[in-house]
Amino acid sequence: MSRPPVSLMTPARLAGWAWQALALVGLGLVLVMAARTGAANLRASGLASGFDFLNRAAGFDIAESAIPYSPRASNARVFAVGMVNTLRVTALAGLFATALGVGFGVALRARAPWMRGLARAYVELTRNMPLPILLLVLYSLLAMAPPPREAIELGGLGFVSNRGLYLPRIEWRWGSGTALAGAGLALAALVGIWRAAPTRRVAMALSISWLGFCGLGLVLSVSGLNLPRPQGFGFVGGSVLSPPLLALVAALSLYSGGYIAEVVRGGLAAVDAGQVEAAQALGLSPIQALRWVTLPQALRVAAPPLASQYLNLAKNASLAIVVGYPDLVALFGGTVLNQTGQAVETLSMILGFYLVLSLSLSGLINLWAARQARWAVR
């Protein structure tokens, strides 16, 4: 095989190689210098390095944790508590933000001008307000709620006080883990029925009987309702959403809701007007047209920016520190860092968590976009 000799040595190519080598050498020098200075500074201040601190006992208590925790647990456990708390806030706020965003996003394109105006007012109000300040406003307003003795009663089921929102807790006969697994299985079976059933009628009949069966299971597995009761200076029973958690979830939902509304509006605007007219010509009601024609197409356009909004939400959950909710950054970048002084290790672990979150979400979106593109070609 004979090819004409390709010269690797043109001036432009040489310059290219030189630039790249320069960039690598420069970066390497900066890193080596930083590492040397860091090591010297660490020696001077007598701080440890490495990840041994993860196995040591944390020695401090955490106000709220979704997984079992005690001050004797290790710093690695603190990391897990922080991750779970961050993800819990993100999931809760994501749910409410989606509801707000889709609702107001559709309202932004409503026919009634006052409805558009209302939605516009919401979007402009939330999008132009810094999130930390919104969070502080909501938190300070919650602190003005009455003390537990004068708490506002919510129809005998719950209470609002400056200690938080007290709600009834369902007692599961076989534990809440079993209940969650059961719900997941029931949902999976429902999806399976709709996939496998030959016709819509059969699917409908099967899923109604399946849901009836699940309802029976639900009734059997609930052993009781634990209502919060006032006692002394507080409440006993039920479950409590603390003021920091409430303020955080409310602020994140309101804030992200405004951005999601704009994304949904943009997606709806991208749907060809002919589609809406065709749906109307077929006799679909406006709600039906929205449900079956407009929204599915709009979501296809809106999915990538939507994903980045959810990612922003997860990152913004780090503002928890402003109101003292123990999220990953507050626990690990705050308390553990202060106690151990191991800034490099703690901060890089936090960065790693967010990097994994971000990369996996964008990976999912890319997969989804590739699938969409394949369908579009067909």
Partner 1 sequence: MSACAFPSLPTRARRSWTAWAVGLAVALAALVLVAPALRWLFWDATWVGQSRAACGPAGACWAMITARAPQILLGFYPAGHGWRVGLAVAMLAVGLAPLAWRRRAGLTMLTAPVGALACLALMGGAGILPSVPSAYWGGLALNLIVGAVSAIFALPIGILLSLARRSTLPVIRILASAYVEAVRAAPLIVVLFAAAVLVPLLIPPQWSLDKLTRAIVAITFFEAAYMAEAVRGGLMAVPQGQREAARALGLKGWQVLVFVVLPQALRTATPALVNSFIGLLKDTSLIYVIGVLDITGVLRNAVSDYAWQGLEPEAYIFVGLTFWLLCFGLSRWSAALERRAARAQGAPS
Residues near partner 1 (CB under 8 A): 16, 19-20, 23-24, 27, 34-35, 37-38, 41-42, 107, 109-112, 114-115, 118, 124-125, 127-134, 136-137, 140-141, 143-144, 269, 273, 276-277, 280, 285-287, 315-316, 318-319, 321-322, 329, 333, 337, 343-344, 347, 350-351, 354-355, 357-359
- Nearer to partner 1 by Cβ, of 34 and 211: the residue is 34
- Closest distance to partner 1 from the beta carbon of 130 (Å): 4
- Nearer to partner 1 by Cβ, of 221 and 318: the residue is 318
- Closest distance to partner 1 from the beta carbon of 339 (Å): 13
Q: Which two tokens stand for residue 4?
A: 């004409």
- Closest distance to partner 1 from the beta carbon of 201 (Å): 27
- Closest distance to partner 1 from the beta carbon of 344 (Å): 7
- Closest distance to partner 1 from the beta carbon of 42 (Å): 7
Cα gap 71→224, rounded to integer Å: 32
- Nearer to partner 1 by Cβ, of 178 and 285: the residue is 285
- Nearer to partner 1 by Cβ, of 118 and 197: the residue is 118
- Nearer to partner 1 by Cβ, of 43 and 56: the residue is 43
- Nearer to partner 1 by Cβ, of 125 and 202: the residue is 125
- Closest distance to partner 1 from the beta carbon of 274 (Å): 11
| Structural contact between residues 152 and 159, judged by C-beta atoms closer than 8 angstroms | yes
- Closest distance to partner 1 from the beta carbon of 37 (Å): 5
- Nearer to partner 1 by Cβ, of 260 and 357: the residue is 357
User: Nearest-CA neighbor of 62 among 73, 54, 51?
Assistant: 73
- Nearer to partner 1 by Cβ, of 281 and 377: the residue is 281
- Closest distance to partner 1 from the beta carbon of 314 (Å): 9
SS (H, E, C) the chain: CCCCCCCCCCHHHHHHHHHHHHHHHHHHHHHHHHHHHHHHHHHHHCCCCCCHHHHCECCCCCCCCCCCCCCCCEHHHHHHHHHHHHHHHHHHHHHHHHHHHHHHHHHCCCCCHHHHHHHHHHHHHHHCCCHHHHHHHHHHHHCCCCCHHHCEEECCCEEEECCEEEECEEEECCHHHHHHHHHHHHHHHHHHHHHHCCCHHHHHHHHHHHHHHHHHHHHHHEEEEECCEEECCEEECCEEECHHHHHHHHHHHHHHHHHHHHHHHHHHHHCCHHHHHHHHHCCCCHHHHHHHHHHHHHHHHHHHHHHHHHHHHHHHHHHHHHHCCCCHHHHHHHHHHHHHCCHHHHHHHHHHHHHHHHHHHHHHHHHHHHHHHHHHHC
